Amino acid sequence: MNDIFVEKFGGASVNSAKAVKNVETILKLSEKKRIVVISAMGKTTNHLENLVNNFFNKKDIEEEYFYILNYHTQLIEELFNNLDASTALSKLQELCRELINRLNSLSSTDYNFLYDSIVSFGERISTMIVSEFLNQIGLKNILLSAKDIIKTDNNYRDANIDWMATQYAVEQNLLPLFSCYDTIIVQGFLGGTKEGLFTTLGREGSDYSASILAHCTKALSMTIWKDVPGLLNADPKRIKQTTKLSSVPYREAIELSYYGASIIHPKTIKPIENLSIPLYIKSFVSPLDKGSVICDKQELIPKVTNYIFKDNQILLSISPKDFSFIGEKNIAIIFSILAKNKVKVNLMQNSAISFSLCFDENRNILPQLLDDLQEYYNVKYNISLQLITLRHYTPEAVESVLRNKKILIEQKNRTTAQFLVEDIE
């Protein structure tokens, strides 16, 4: 088997006709056997989420549906220009009809199943368009459905990988194709159950998809193409002076992703770390620049404070109705309720008679979560909060992020400081 490389293109790298043509340019920089993992185009996932939420809450879906249809129609017309766009346009219409038929056939009571059934159309449309375009301009490729390769359980919206089934599917359905094709295109973010239903791997899960495929094919490297020059120590929209991290140890990358660094999906690192596969993060604007690498080095280079911001946080404060202590039994009950409602805790803290936690805001899940908790506990909550995490913090860094903020929860250890805050009015 020839050496295999895995490359992932996010939504920003395929959000326009010009961007897709840039993908073509990057792929033509070198000839190699590669798996290309592609996300939904631009903000399509957001619009599909809005469509799902509107349908779930029995609101009008027409505006979001036609945005998705018209956005992709216009992109195809601009992208193909002097080429034959009829096949791509026909396949787009077919996928959009399937989307409506799925909505008409689904019950709106299971939000998570509904979400995966509909949001999966973003990646299905984007990969179809890119595959059709590349074939027309002479870059021969084949498009595989992720649900036939990445096998998962039925834990919708955050599916767990069936590693044995996925490895078998890769060996049977993907690797043999390299005898005829140098480029195989697969949807990011998606997997499939043994019943053949689409699942999603968690928000921003396309990185994880690429990592799974890199592991199962024993790839020489994995590359994520971004709209930034590499892995930065902060979101440039939040911090004016950012620093590019040239080399990041696997363990450090896992810590950063765990705390919410948006450039890497939390589950991405482990599959490639197990085989010491380097992960390159490079700019699709300047593809020849060096970028950053996550690898088996021991030290973060350079060692600077990393800033991570998570907006739209909810703080729950939970206390037993009988004023009993928050011990193992109460914590077990609380976490069973959180698991039932698929809530991921970003920060938690307890005292003798109170347990506090924060998580990403989801107004569709909150009412049921509160009902379940209030059966046993008194519950208070705050919304629209921000969680700030500083990795390798300094006093100056702490001071800079807490200006005009009220601290609700503060936690520190030797390397990491976290603050749940709200703005001071």
Distance between CA atoms of residues 255 and 257, nearest Å: 6
Residues 368, 337: Cα–Cα separation, whole Å = 10
Phi and psi angles of residue 81, each rounded to the nearest 5 degrees, phi first: 45, -100
Q: What is the pLDDT of residues 355-399, one digit of tens each?
A: 999 999 988 889 999 999 999 999 999 999 999 999 999 999 999
**Weakest mean pLDDT among 159-163, 303-307, 348-352:** 348-352
Predicted confidence at residue 365, as pLDDT, reads 87
DSSP structure string for 99-157: HHHHHHHS-SS-HHHHHHHHHTHHHHHHHHHHHHHHHHTT--EEEE-GGGTSBB-S-TT
| pLDDT reading at 87 higher than 60 | yes
Between CA 387 and CA 421 the distance in angstroms is 6
Share of the chain above pLDDT 90, in %: 86
pLDDT attached to residue 250: 95
Instruction: Tell me how crowded residue 415 is: count the other CB atoms within 10 A of its CB.
Output: 11
pLDDT at 342 over 70: yes
Per-residue pLDDT, averaged over 152-163, amounts to 96
Mean pLDDT over each residue of the chain, to the nearest integer? 94
Beta bridge partners of 38: 9, 187
Residue 204 has pLDDT above 80, yes or no: no
- 321 has a pLDDT exceeding 90: no
pLDDT at 107 over 80: no
CA of 359: how far to CAs of 12, 350, 367, in Å?
26, 15, 14
pLDDT mean over 295-306: 94
- Give 1's pLDDT tier (boundaries 50, 70, 90): low
Give the mean pLDDT of 180-209: 95
What pTM was computed for the model?
0.86
Tens of pLDDT, residues 3-56: 999 999 999 999 999 999 999 999 999 999 999 999 999 999 999 999 999 999
Instruction: Look up residue 274 and give its two tokens.
Output: 């197990």
Q: What is the pLDDT of residue 352?
A: 86
Distance CA 319, CA 32 (A): 59
Work out the percent of the chain whose per-residue pLDDT is above 70: 99
Q: Which residue has the higher pLDDT, 1 or 199?
A: 199
